[in-house]
Structure 1
């Protein structure tokens, strides 16, 4: 059980940091749009990455150093573009959103953005594959450690997504969404800068 609680604690500590993926889950929860699918996509993606990390893929980036810079660049470009989209929406006066949260965004489009924010983010690989993989090597039971980390991911994403649903009435006005889009854009750009900064200094 000690390995399980270690995995749970480490998983929560890594995933609770504010980032592009969490900002997107929060936004979808506030909109009340495809919340279950988005939370499930994030949690399952984390589970896959954690499994790779615990069972031997922690050395992948170490064996292919160029892969690190390639992932950083691809992730930064995507985040810059998506952040610009959010900032443009904020400058235009906020989302055209009614109080019920129905915006007409398709499930496929929403999940595509969600998965891109997850799989194009090098921080995800560094956390779930490299760091978690390294810590798992010190555990008496890798399976229990992995189970704890996976439970942490599912718990956090569903709590974030469905917890945000309860705040929808407070954020029903276009002005509130204008602020949210602006903050989301800033988060995206900050993460993008953090990805490319080690490559230019």
Structure 2
């Protein structure tokens, strides 16, 4: 039987949630690469960040309330999300590769090619919810949170703090990089790098999906 003193405080749970969240979220994956490109283009960045933050808020707390139990009862859901994610990443990789191989006239032309706010928001939702790593992260957060007993919501709040911190860092970094992307060559290099990252992620997920 645990004593009251032995139970973790809300602060320690929150701090642990931050550490765990940064370890899980602070990677340049599909969502991060998309945010960086939109930030460099200064196109609908605030809307994208708000949508990503809202999704993380809902699913972080939902994971603590039992998302892992849903995944255990419907394993087909995980498989379906994985292959949708592979298709989505390959499609976006192809789009970036096409931009990298064709001519652009720098930042001004790139802005003209930016999709509408609705399209940008839908893409942000896709990069989040069609990413199997997102669901894995949520299951990890939910599982670890339960070790904090009554302070588990503090852990969830810490994970959310880490998520929002990472989103802000991505947005700030993208804005600082924007002056470097006044040239056509810089845009083509960025798109080529993003295309490579997306393709590598898709191939890695497909390998896992085939039992590799």
Aligned residues: 200
1:95 Cα deviation after fit: 6.7
Q: Alpha-carbon deviations, 1:32-66, whole Å to 9, x = none?
A: 11111111111111111111111111122221121
Select 1:4's aligned residue among 10, 14, 18: 14
1:93 Cα deviation after fit: 3.0
TM-score by length of 2: 0.89
Q: Where does structure 1 lack aligned partners over 5 or more consecutive residues?
A: none
Q: In the aligned structure 1, how far is the partner of 2:13 from the partner of 2:23?
A: 15
- Please give the root-mean-square deviation of Cα atoms over the aligned residues, in Å: 1.7
Tell me which residue corresponds to 1:189: 199
Decide whether the 8 Å contact of 1:38 with 1:114 is kept in 2. Answer: yes
Q: Aligned pair in 2 of structure 1 residues 137, 30: CA closer, same or farther (>3 Å)?
A: same
User: Does 1:136 pair with 2:145?
Assistant: yes
Decide whether the 8 Å contact of 2:104 with 2:110 is kept in 1. Answer: no
Q: In the aligned structure 2, how far is the partner of 1:95 from the partner of 1:64?
A: 48
Select 1:111's aligned residue among 96, 114, 121: 121
Q: Aligned pair in 2 of structure 1 residues 2, 95: CA closer, same or farther (>3 Å)?
A: farther
Q: Where does structure 2 lack aligned partners over 5 or more consecutive residues?
A: 1-10
Tell me which residue corresponds to 1:149: 159
